[in-house]
Structure 1
Amino acid sequence: MYSRQSLTYLFVIMAIIVVLLSLWLSNRLVKELADEERRKIEIWAMATESMLMDEEMDMSLVLRILESNTTIPIILYDKSSGKLTPRNIKLPEEDAESYLQIKIVEFGRRHDPIALLEMNQLLYYDDSHTLKTLQLYPYWQLLVIALFTGLAFFALNRSQRAERDRVWVGLSKETAHQLGTPISSLTAWMEYMKLKEIDPQLLTEIDKDVSRLQMITERFSKIGSITGLKPEDLRGVIRRSVAYLEKRVSGAIVFNMRFPEHPVIVDLNEPLFGWVIENIVKNGVDAMQGEGIITFEISEKGKMIHLDISDTGKGLHKSKFKKIFSPGYTTKDRGWGLGLTLVERIVEENHKGEIFVRRSEPGKGTTFRIQLRKN
């Protein structure tokens, strides 16, 4: 079965073939019509010359030939007198002679003039209005094809995105629903164990994990819903997320934070944005195989806040910078490849921001940049 990307490439190739074939046919038709107009002008020149040089010529036939040209602009130039005689050309009210001189130059660039040797004259001519329109037709055709192709791709992309969104929302809400029952049961068991003689420190850690499960359930339930954003200090949100992660990753992972001394206020939904931090950190930990440095750096530029998250892992080739956000893409043996897709959705749709790979190099690590508007 063809992949969606392969079908897209096939569609583009077919569209290019259709366009090239259309251009070839149009150019061939234009050339044939141009040759026919040249022959008509040559016949017209012969008729003009014959009318003046051969008195026994059937004048009615000659006049019929001369009067038949109603579409092709011509200028008859007499070398002896310098007189210019136009036909099928709309002359300006003033300075018609200069206008015709300009037209002769234009006509001469497009077509070689036809010499009337017996009369010592040159016949200059231009393409008819029909031929000029036909010459432009392929480009208008290209524009229309490009427009409809673009609209088709846009509609297809929107349709696929809407379908993907429905799957995301359905899966997320069903996950939240399924998690609700065991979490309620765990909460009840926690209250029961607090009444027994059990190590309080152990109960505290279990309680933290139950609270974490409740937060995860809340995150899933918010996917597809209108999320409430409120002003938060970005530094605090990151510190709280990292504090949770530090106890659950390898001790060989070092977290560095380069933050401004003043509060960095942005509109956030902390449970969802914390999910973004966790997913990126977990990807970095996997890329570093449990040992290395993860650095958080906040900078400001105009009305934008930039959060750079860097790791010292195996890095990426430039060709993968956009692909890693695609659903199903993963370099790990396990997992569904949905983590960074979810991150992109939360940043761009829930927080109206942007996330991308700022830089990466195989063997030297990766830096993700998240851009958010200031509060």
Structure 2
Amino acid sequence: MDILKTPSRWPLYLGIAGLAIVLISVWYTNQLATQLAEIEERQIMLSGQALERINSLGIDESISRDVTLENELLAVLRTVPSVLVSAGSGKVDSWEQIGTRDTNEVQRLVERWIDQGTVPVRMDQQLVYFGESRLLRQLRYFPLVLFFLIAAFIILGYIGLNQTRKSEQNRVWVGMAKETAHQLGTPISAILGWVEHLKLMYADDADIMEVSDELRHDVERLSMVANRFSKIGATPQLTATNIFRELNRCREYMEKRAPRKVMFDFPAPDAGDLRVAINPLLFDWVIENLLRNALDSMDGKGQISGHISEHGNRVYIDITDTGKGIEAKNVRKVFNPGFTTKKRGWGLGLSLVKRIIVEYHKGKIQVSRSQPGVGTTFTISLPKVSS
């Protein structure tokens, strides 16, 4: 039952809009780069033709050669990378706007231009090779830069939407939990009152006294559940606790309420003195949820095992059952709010479990092993506290 999953098309719309912007921007900037390349090529061609005409004028011509005009034409092309090469030897004489002082590197650049079909302009005993301007190169790379910028925008926008959605879900969780605790308070108090009334009215009836005692225990348990809900959203107080004793206490409570054919194999409460910083009220909720899920998966018979170990500065608690197991495709989904394989259920238990362990206890929880028809192991990792 996925009642908490509200499908949103905003990420899809955002992705489509971003892709459209990228495609339009790439197409437009590519058009600009092409046009600029054509303009630059025409300028170089016209300037080259003018230089060739000036250089072709002989000394005996009526129009003398104007060196000043030649220099002015070269000045126009100062923004374009150019290399002067000796027409006889093919060696580089000088260059402009290349960005390096290494003659060998410039020589290799000229050879590359020649391979690409670049036609030089002759000036006396020199050949002038022209490349693309820095502005044109930047414009050619601009679509790629724009793509990364828009991709970053889409990614950040998606993360922002996710964070906003999670924040809203958290507020709903907290509000629902506190309202549940508030609503439970009145009937719990009333039931406790009726239990006391039964004790007063039938003090001589041993059977009723026994029933009233059990009722009181269950109501106290219900009160503790309400108290747990009231703590959702608040910062819980953590205390250094012997994990062997705490795990055994949870086992005792659930074993009394489990089918007789379910066996529990947990370490003894005095098996060690490993301490972790926990809030017992919330941590017991985690273990009870895991044990309840284990019982639901075993159809009234099987074994539930608990194992505690330490590695470095962390303590590991394994809860293993011999139930139905979890399919591989669902292992990563079990902690998602709303995910459940049960016919009845809201899929909130394991989501709350993960939140309590990760956010309140700075720990980790995962499905460390699961095989359909064999069983499942949940592993909780918590920081170890010095004794």
Give the TM-score, by structure 2 length. 0.82
Corresponding residue SS for 1:334:
coil
1:101 is aligned to 104
1:80 aligns with 2:88: yes
1:235 is aligned to 244
1:190 aligns with 2:190: no
Paired residues of 2:120 and 2:130 also in contact (CA < 8 A): no
| CA–CA distance in structure 2, aligned partners of residues 368 and 250 of structure 1 | 21
Paired residues of 1:112 and 1:124 also in contact (CA < 8 A): no
Change (3 A) 1:322 1:42: same
CA shift at 1:216, angstroms?
A: 0.7
Paired residues of 2:251 and 2:266 also in contact (CA < 8 A): no
2:186 is aligned to 181
| CA–CA distance in structure 1, aligned partners of residues 309 and 374 of structure 2 | 22
| CA–CA distance in structure 1, aligned partners of residues 306 and 8 of structure 2 | 35
Deviations 1:258-297 (A, max 9, x none): 6894222111111111111111222222233333333322
Corresponding residue SS for 2:266:
strand
Letter in 2 for 1:150: I
Corresponding residue SS for 2:379:
strand
Corresponding residue SS for 1:274:
helix
Paired residues of 1:113 and 1:123 also in contact (CA < 8 A): no
CA shift at 1:234, angstroms?
A: 1.5
Question: Pick from 343, 349, 364: which aligns with 1:354?
Answer: 364
CA shift at 1:10, angstroms?
A: 4.1
Deviations 1:177-209 (A, max 9, x none): 221122222222333333422325434432321
Letter in 1 for 2:299: Q
CA shift at 1:58, angstroms?
A: 9.7
Higher relative contact order (CA 8 A, sep 6+): 2
| CA–CA distance in structure 2, aligned partners of residues 83 and 135 of structure 1 | 30
CA shift at 1:357, angstroms?
A: 2.6
Corresponding residue SS for 1:321:
helix
Q: Which runs of 5+ in 2 are unaligned?
A: none
1:225 is aligned to 234
CA shift at 1:69, angstroms?
A: 1.1
2:174 is aligned to 169
Question: Pick from 288, 307, 315: which aligns with 2:298?
Answer: 288
1:71 aligns with 2:79: yes
1:306 is aligned to 316
| CA–CA distance in structure 2, aligned partners of residues 132 and 281 of structure 1 | 65
CA shift at 1:231, angstroms?
A: 0.8
CA shift at 1:351, angstroms?
A: 1.4
| CA–CA distance in structure 1, aligned partners of residues 31 and 318 of structure 2 | 57
| CA–CA distance in structure 1, aligned partners of residues 107 and 40 of structure 2 | 18
Q: Which runs of 5+ in 1 are unaligned?
A: none
1:46 aligns with 2:49: yes
Paired residues of 1:256 and 1:294 also in contact (CA < 8 A): yes
CA shift at 1:368, angstroms?
A: 2.3
Deviations 1:79-98 (A, max 9, x none): 41445343533788xxx5xx
| CA–CA distance in structure 2, aligned partners of residues 322 and 344 of structure 1 | 12
1:15 is aligned to 18
CA shift at 1:133, angstroms?
A: 2.3
Paired residues of 1:114 and 1:122 also in contact (CA < 8 A): no
Change (3 A) 1:11 1:89: closer
| CA–CA distance in structure 2, aligned partners of residues 359 and 109 of structure 1 | 60
Corresponding residue SS for 1:106:
helix
Question: Pick from 146, 150, 155: which aligns with 1:150?
Answer: 155
Change (3 A) 1:5 1:242: farther
| CA–CA distance in structure 2, aligned partners of residues 187 and 262 of structure 1 | 38
| CA–CA distance in structure 2, aligned partners of residues 152 and 158 of structure 1 | 10
Paired residues of 1:256 and 1:293 also in contact (CA < 8 A): yes
CA shift at 1:314, angstroms?
A: 3.0
| CA–CA distance in structure 1, aligned partners of residues 262 and 19 of structure 2 | 51
Change (3 A) 1:324 1:333: same
| CA–CA distance in structure 2, aligned partners of residues 149 and 91 of structure 1 | 36
CA shift at 1:236, angstroms?
A: 1.6
Change (3 A) 1:16 1:262: farther
Give the TM-score, by structure 1 length. 0.85
1:337 aligns with 2:347: yes
1:262 aligns with 2:262: no
Corresponding residue SS for 1:150:
helix
CA RMSD, 1 decimal: 3.2
Paired residues of 2:57 and 2:65 also in contact (CA < 8 A): no
| CA–CA distance in structure 2, aligned partners of residues 266 and 239 of structure 1 | 15
Paired residues of 1:241 and 1:277 also in contact (CA < 8 A): yes
Percent of aligned positions that are identical: 38
Letter in 1 for 2:230: S
Change (3 A) 1:106 1:82: closer
2:220 is aligned to 211
Deviations 1:119-161 (A, max 9, x none): 7865433331212322343343234323433332333233222
Change (3 A) 1:315 1:133: same
Change (3 A) 1:77 1:368: same
